[in-house]
Amino acid sequence: MDPKILVAEDEEIMRITVVDHLRSHGWQIDAADSGTRALELIKQNDYQLLLSDIRMPGLDGEVLLAEVKKVSPHTEVVMMTAHGNTDTAINCLKNGAADYIQKPFDLDDLSFRIKRILEMQLIKARCVSLEHCGGQRRPIIGSSAPMQKVLSLISQVSGSDSSILIQGESGTGKELVAAAIHFESRRADKPYVRVNCAAIPEGLMESEFFGHEKGAFTGAEKTSVGKFELADQGTILLDEIGDMPLDLQVKLLRVLQEREIERVGGKHPIPVNVRVLCSTAKNLAGEVEKGNFRQDLFYRLQVIPIEIPALRDRKDDIGELADFFLGEFGRERGLSFDLSAEARQALESYPFPGNVRELHNILERVSVLAPTSKIQLWDLPTEIWNDSAAEKKEKIPDNLAEAVAEAEKKCILHVLKKTDDNKTEAAAILGISRKNLWEKMKGYGL
């Protein structure tokens, strides 16, 4: 989306000249012939930058700057000043202006300064996103029908600004879905801020969300900007929203309805333009019935609900996820990990109560502890080994040759595990040559 700029200049020829030049760069430009009109437009629209003359009749540039910082803190301000007014311009810098340029000025110099400020806005947005969402966006892996339905829904809802409630068991990937919605939206180059409601002490939650003024409470030695202000023009994810206390739920509802926040100890509201995404492992409808969550807030958040399936309900994705994770761990260690047929089958049969997070952690552990890059069944945790063995316990082949082969395979696996994958020692225990063991392992896909 092209940056939107407002030019406030009372001299008509200067105003038209500057507007035409800036439009030639592809920026969206609005114009105001007075400070009063400029303030009206700023209250009605979102501007990345205001270019304002200092000396204007009625509401001059200094007063306009002060008002803009109240009603639209994210809007950067560049002051235009005539020769001899540099002291005033410097005072404007002290009060929050991003830059000033002295008349008469070169139009190319003006556009260069504006480009630099807009680029810095993008850098700040990326820094905020990296700080609060834990790094770069990760891909969502899954070709199963349930996950393809989720991916399709992400594409449908990303273009809107509607509130979204993402629900699913712990470890299913709710944060990945939220990040995907933000980075596919028109706010992708704006801040993305994640707040874990369960990790913030209740007494500090309001300050974390909305910020506080200096001296608002004991220990508030300076003004602090809250998460909603940091996310202005972008997206905020309220993770584990079900753990938010009731008194803060009331204030959050007001923010969603009024689109403004008030810092703790503040004296005036601050407008914010933030898309709100929420996630929870709790059943919020059930929490409403228990009186733990406000019904009006629940309906306000659940404009678009997205349910993330548990890993046991998308078993077709386990192999794909395992290969992806092992590929990541392999690149970190300079190895090429692979799953044996037995290990892959065991993983695909396991119910994974911890969902994708549990699969990820298991494979990370295995990639460190496995003696070779070929992950065998016995390299997996005992619970997966036992679960796989229990599932196969009653599956006895009817064909005698198949039954003998299956027994031989199990015997080889047992001895290999017993010898920590030492082929020479295993062959000796089995009573066959090492070459014969290799041939049998190759035939059984071990």
Over residues 327-357, the pLDDT tens digits come to 999 998 888 999 998 899 999 989 999 999 9
Do residues 317 and 341 both lie within one domain?
yes
Is residue 101 in a domain?
Answer: yes
Give 370-373 contacts, CB < 8 A, sequence gap 24+.
370/337, 371/420, 371/421, 372/421, 373/330, 373/335, 373/336, 373/337, 373/338
Q: What is the spatial distance between Cα 277 and Cα 187, in angstroms, rounded to a whole number?
A: 13
Our count of domains for the chain comes to 3
Question: Would residue 104 count as lying in a domain?
Answer: yes
Please determine, for residue 368, whether its predicted confidence score (pLDDT) is greater than 50.
Answer: yes
Residue 370 to residue 380: CA distance in whole angstroms: 9
Length of the chain, in residues: 446
Range of the domain at 89: 4-126
Compute the C-alpha angle 180/274/116, nearest 5°: 85
Residues 281 and 161 in one domain: yes
The least confident of 171-180, 233-242, 422-431 is 422-431
132 in any annotated domain:
no
The mean pLDDT value for 276-296 works out to 93
82-91, 123-132, 252-261 — which is least confidently predicted? 123-132
| pLDDT (tens digit per residue) in 431-441 | 888 888 878 87
pLDDT-based confidence at residue 124 (cuts at 50, 70, 90)? confident
Same domain, 97 and 113: yes
Same-domain status, 153 and 262: yes
Q: Residue 20 and residue 30: Cα distance in Å, rounded? A: 11
Question: Does the pLDDT value for residue 53 go beyond 60?
Answer: yes
For residues 196 and 178, state if they share a domain. Answer: yes
Predicted confidence at residue 85, as pLDDT, reads: 67
User: In terms of domains, do 184 and 302 share one?
Assistant: yes
Q: Judge if the upstream peptide bond of residue 104 is cis by omega within 30 degrees of 0.
A: yes
pLDDT bucket at 295, cuts 50 / 70 / 90: very high
For the stretch 187-225, pLDDT in tens is 988 889 999 998 888 888 899 899 888 888 877 778 888
Residue ending a domain, among 81, 104, 126, is 126
Same domain, 258 and 371: no
Statement: residue 394 has pLDDT above 60 = no
Quick one: the chain helix, strand, coil %, rounded to 5? 50, 15, 35
pLDDT at residue 135 greater than cutoff 50: no
Residue 131 lies in a domain: no
User: DSSP letters of 307-346?
Assistant: EPPPGGG-GGGHHHHHHHHHHHHHHHHT---EE-HHHHHH
Q: In which band, very low, low, confident or very high, does the pLDDT at 131 lie, cut at 50, 70 and 90?
A: low
DSSP state of 242: G
pTM value surpassing 0.75? no
Region 3-19: mean pLDDT is 92
Say what the pLDDT of residue 236 is: 94
- SS3 category, 50: strand
CB contact at 8 A, 32 and 6: yes
Give me the long-range contacts of 68-71 (CB less than 8 A, separation at least 24).
68/39, 68/42, 69/95, 69/96, 70/268, 70/270, 71/39, 71/42, 71/43, 71/271
Amino acid at 422: N
In a domain, 437, yes or no: yes
288 and 150 fall within a common domain: yes
Q: Residue 250: which pLDDT band, with cuts at 50, 70 and 90?
A: very high
**CA dihedral defined by 115, 121, 125, 126, rounded to 10 degrees?**
40
The pLDDT of 163-173, averaged and rounded, is: 93
Query: Encoding tokens for residue 418?
Result: 């017993």
Judgement on whether residues 190 and 91 belong to the same structural domain of the protein: no
Beta-carbon neighbour count of residue 186 at 10 Å? 12
Section 102-116 average pLDDT: 91
> What's CA 324's distance to the chain center, in Å?
20
